[in-house]
Amino acid sequence: MQQAQTLYEKLWSSHVVRQDADGTALIYIDRHLVHEVTSPQAFEGLKLAGRKPWRVSSIVATADHNTPTDHWEEGIKDPISRQQVETLDANIREVGSLAYFPFKDERQGIVHVIGPENGATLPGMTVVCGDSHTSTHGAFACLAHGIGTSEVEHVLATQCLMQKKSKTLLIQVDGDLAPGVTAKDVVLAIIGRIGTAGGTGYAMEFGGSAIRGLSMEGRMTICNMAIEAGARAGLIAVDETTIEYLKGRPYAPAGEEFERASAYWRTLTSDAGAAYDKVVQMDAASIRPQVTWGTSPEMVSDINGVVPDPAAEKDPVKREGMTRALAYMGLEAGTPIKRIPVDRVFIGSCTNSRIEDLRAAAAVAKGRQKADSVKQVLVVPGSGLVKRQAESEGLDKVFVAAGFEWREPGCSMCLAMNADRLESGERCASTSNRNFEGRQGAGGRTHLVSPALAAAAAIAGHFADVAELN
Amino acid sequence: MRAFTTLDGLVAPLDRANVDTDAIIPKQFLKSIQRSGFGPNLFDEWRYLDHGEPGMDNSTRKLNPDFVLNQSRYTGAQILLTRDNFGCGSSREHAPWALDDYGFRALIGTSYADIFFNNCFKNGVLPICLPADVVDRLFATCVANAGYRLKIDLAAQQVIEPDGTAHGFDVDGFRKECLLNGWDEIGLTLRHADEIRAFEASRKAEHPYYFR
């Protein structure tokens, strides 16, 4: 009998083109997602070396990082941003692709939102992109991870990557989530537990009844932030939720071919008794809504907690890091999280801009008003299709009635490469993935939360439990 | 790629953990479609007192006197001492491009984020891991001695202190060969083009829906 295999081992072994004695392998790449920021130098390198792309039908491309989220009729005002987007246009026009969703296309959006919603991300694939949040696609039992620009060029030229096998880590989350606790809270709690380097060197699989109970949107939120725990790839096994999501998507197989593919996809689970290099158990019921207080995603508390005291930390490097973070964040140790006021709110990003996220935020916003003290609440759908779906459900009207701004899709204030950004010293409740110094604008202060908590902060003017509003 | 064999370089200490790639090179500089020119904006938000944007004349901007790389004793440093989880966050290869463009050829620390670590090797920048107690001591010695230098011998896999104390380090055999020889990985992979084609054909036969 064949030895029990983890999902990662199955995905790895089905993509090895060749392997050297030292374990260095050539891995075949099925899907190559491309955006404007990390690809221009790769296309240029390819051209300078006189090489052609190996298989353009693997390429799905979009412009997302630099694109504005309002006044699309005015185009991209920043000339440097515009040049980058036009460079992508020119490169894709020249080499071709399976699909290209340029700026203003009705299916344009964040690369990690459009891949799955168009069925361009399918179970069993290897998926790469010059973007660390490519881990998102692991929610479909894909071996998916971010790469640098040199590797973007390598994949363009050879359809392969040179790699060694990762170690395997299972995060097992069992039990029922408490009401109001979402996928975002689960993944922030995981990062708080194992730290931002806890998954370094591992492929991180998420399992257990709490994970199986999540929608595909929730699973994508979890895998999206595997990289924030240090793991390049997050993974979740295929089940009927996965199969149902894929039915009828434009680039997914249809009819009899879908049935045949599904039979294979259903094997993309870890076998009973498969051995992992490391296992971490979490109790779902004990997880509360999470809010980060510092400048690393591991600096996280539950909503009922207080800002911790660096003096209580024994490790000098960590203590110094906490002290620096509190100074940057303008926070004092001992402050209850619920007393921290916010200046702006951002609902969006590849972590939390899908339809379920917008529904969760709208459910909180409905019939309520943004606090006067909050300067701006941006709601940025992950794609044109998400935007259209939300509008068909009337969510846009709920947001606008609450004093929120309903924008066009893109990465927006997750990393502030476009005009959406924090001013120095401003504090933001954000559904994005990174609270690094300056991430949302130089001097800006980011607190990572779920869409429901972001909307609650917009209404209350400070962090608040949804159940305690009004 | 430029080869890396040996280095005898001035050392600068960056004593903080979890230095992310947003800090190494802020996002506004990622709008460039070039591979070079990022050095003046390395650690931009820590290094300057004002807010940097592409196209500014960096030579006229006010430096932050408290930032370690702005101390004259570290001018011309080629080796950066780092702490845990250096290079975490975004996959931007602009981070090693900026370190390289500034003049850093090697990093010495306790651990690096995976994607950043990988990106360094593609650019002739050598990220070295040493045990925490050794790194602690190197930080202390570097800070106490102006002009502190270290030698790195990649073939021998050693970091050598001025008194001759040598610290061995691990490096993946294939990556080491690529660095020592300055090999182009794409060229190496394309030597196996026939195997890639054969793999692709059999995968397409089994799973045609991945190839539409």
Residue A84 near residue A36 (C-beta atoms within 8 A): yes
- How many Cα atoms are found within 13 Å in the side-chain-facing hemisphere of B165? 7
Closest CA to A297 of A108, A468, A142, A430: A430
Residue A222 near residue A138 (C-beta atoms within 8 A): no
- A129 marked as part of a ligand binding site: no
Going along A363-435, which residue ranges are E strands?
376-379, 405-406, 427-430
Cα separations in angstroms, A228 against A243, A356, B21: 27, 22, 12
Phi and psi for A323 in degrees, rounded to 5? -60, -45
Looking at the structure of chain A, the number of domains it has is 2
Does one domain contain both A382 and A300? yes
Contact of B207 with chain A, judged by CB distance below 8 Å, is answered with yes
- A411 marked as part of a ligand binding site: yes
Domain interval for residue A450 = 290-468
β-pairing, B126-129 with B6-13? Answer: unpaired
Does one domain contain both A139 and A217? yes
Residue B203 in this model has a pLDDT that exceeds 90: yes
Does one domain contain both A295 and A259? no
B 146-165 residues inside an 8 A Cβ radius of A: none
Contact of A151 with chain B, judged by CB distance below 8 Å, is answered with yes
A 298-327 residues inside an 8 A Cβ radius of B: 317-318, 320-321, 324
Cα separations in angstroms, A284 against A94, A163, A171, A337: 49, 34, 11, 22
Reading the block at residue A441, the tokens are 């604008």
The pLDDT score that the predictor gives to residue B99 is: 98
Does one domain contain both A355 and A284? no
Residue A444 near residue A421 (C-beta atoms within 8 A): yes
Contact of B27 with chain A, judged by CB distance below 8 Å, is answered with yes
Please list every residue in chain A whose beta carbon sits closer than 8 Å to the beta carbon of residue B25.
none
Closest CA to A348 of A395, A391, A394, A380: A380
Domain end among A272, A288, A304 = A288
Please state, in angstroms and rounded to a whole number, the distance separating the CA atoms of residues A253 and B34.
Answer: 39
- Cα A198 to chain centroid distance, Å, stands at 18
Does one domain contain both A326 and A279? no
pLDDT tens, residue by residue, B164-188 = 999 999 999 999 999 999 998 999 9
- Give me the percent of chain B exceeding a pLDDT of 90: 98
pLDDT tens, residue by residue, A141-183 = 999 999 999 999 999 999 999 999 999 999 999 999 999 999 9
Confidence grade of residue B137 (pLDDT, cut at 50, 70, 90): very high
Cβ distance of A148 and B185 shorter than 8 Å? no
SS (H, E, C) B19-58: CEHHHHCCHHHHHCCCCCCCHHHCCHHHHECCCCCCCCCH
Query: What SS3 state is found at A393?
Result: coil
Residue A424's identity, in one-letter code, is S
* DSSP state for residue A118 in the 8-state scheme: T
Please state, in angstroms and rounded to a whole number, the distance separating the CA atoms of residues B43 and B66.
Answer: 13
- How many Cα atoms are found within 13 Å in the side-chain-facing hemisphere of B37? 12
The pLDDT score that the predictor gives to residue B184 is: 87
Cβ distance of A162 and B84 shorter than 8 Å? no
pLDDT tens, residue by residue, A391-435 = 999 999 999 999 999 999 999 999 999 999 999 999 999 999 999
Contact of A438 with chain B, judged by CB distance below 8 Å, is answered with yes
Residue A124 near residue A237 (C-beta atoms within 8 A): no
The pLDDT score that the predictor gives to residue B212 is: 86
Query: What SS3 state is found at A461?
Result: coil
Cβ distance of B20 and A436 shorter than 8 Å? yes
Start-to-end C-alpha separation, chain A: 61
Contact of B100 with chain A, judged by CB distance below 8 Å, is answered with no
Helix axes A79-95, A40-48, angle to 10 degrees: 50
Please state, in angstroms and rounded to a whole number, the distance separating the CA atoms of residues A174 and A194.
Answer: 17
Reading the block at residue A316, the tokens are 């000098």
Q: What angle do CA A433, A436, A438 make, to 5 degrees?
A: 115
Cα separations in angstroms, A219 against A119, A235, A245: 16, 9, 12
Which of A57, A132, A296 shows the shortest C-beta gap to B91? A132
Please state, in angstroms and rounded to a whole number, the distance separating the CA atoms of residues B36 and A243.
Answer: 45
Residue B67 in this model has a pLDDT that exceeds 90: yes
What's A186's domain CATH number? Answer: 3.30.499.10
Phi and psi for A383 in degrees, rounded to 5? -160, 170
pLDDT tens, residue by residue, B12-23 = 999 999 999 999
The interface predicted TM-score of the complex, written ipTM, equals 0.96
Closest CA to A111 of A383, A348, A347: A383
Does one domain contain both A54 and A161? yes
Domain end among A270, A288, A306 = A288
Identify the structural domains of chain B with CATH numbers, from first to last: 6-181 (3.20.19.10), 184-212 (no CATH)
Domain end among A264, A288, A312 = A288
Helix axes B173-181, B114-121, angle to 10 degrees: 40
Does one domain contain both A391 and A302? yes
Does one domain contain both A271 and A294? no
The pLDDT score that the predictor gives to residue A1 is: 57
- Tens place of pLDDT per residue across chain A (470 aa): 579 999 999 999 999 999 999 999 999 999 999 999 999 999 999 999 999 999 999 999 999 999 999 999 999 999 999 999 999 999 999 999 999 999 999 999 999 999 999 999 999 999 999 999 999 999 999 999 999 999 999 999 999 999 999 999 999 999 999 999 999 999 999 999 999 999 999 999 999 999 999 999 999 999 999 999 999 999 999 999 999 999 999 999 999 999 999 999 999 999 999 999 999 999 999 999 999 999 999 999 999 999 999 999 999 989 999 999 999 999 999 999 999 999 999 999 999 999 999 999 999 999 999 999 999 999 999 999 999 999 999 999 999 999 999 999 999 999 999 999 999 999 999 999 999 999 999 999 999 999 999 999 999 999 999 998 97
Phi and psi for A245 in degrees, rounded to 5? -60, -35
Residue A386 near residue A357 (C-beta atoms within 8 A): no
Does one domain contain both A281 and A356? no
Cα separations in angstroms, A443 against A330, A337, A354: 11, 20, 28
The pLDDT score that the predictor gives to residue B64 is: 98
The pLDDT score that the predictor gives to residue A2 is: 74
Contact of B5 with chain A, judged by CB distance below 8 Å, is answered with no
Reading the block at residue B138, the tokens are 């190197």
Does one domain contain both A44 and A179? yes
- Cα A301 to chain centroid distance, Å, stands at 20
Closest CA to A114 of A103, A378, A404, A183: A103
Closest CA to A27 of A220, A269, A259, A232: A232
Which of A22, A28, A151 shows the shortest C-beta gap to B174? A22
Does one domain contain both A312 and A282? no
Does one domain contain both A177 and A118? yes
Strand partners, A39: none
Closest CA to A381 of A361, A401, A402: A361
Q: How many helices and strands, by DSSP H and E, does chain B display?
A: 8, 7
Start-to-end C-alpha separation, chain B: 35
Burial bucket for residue A327 (CB in 10 Å: 0-12, 13-18, 19+): exposed
By C-alpha distance, the chain B residue nearest A201 is B114
The pLDDT score that the predictor gives to residue A190 is: 98
Residue with tokens 């539950």: A302
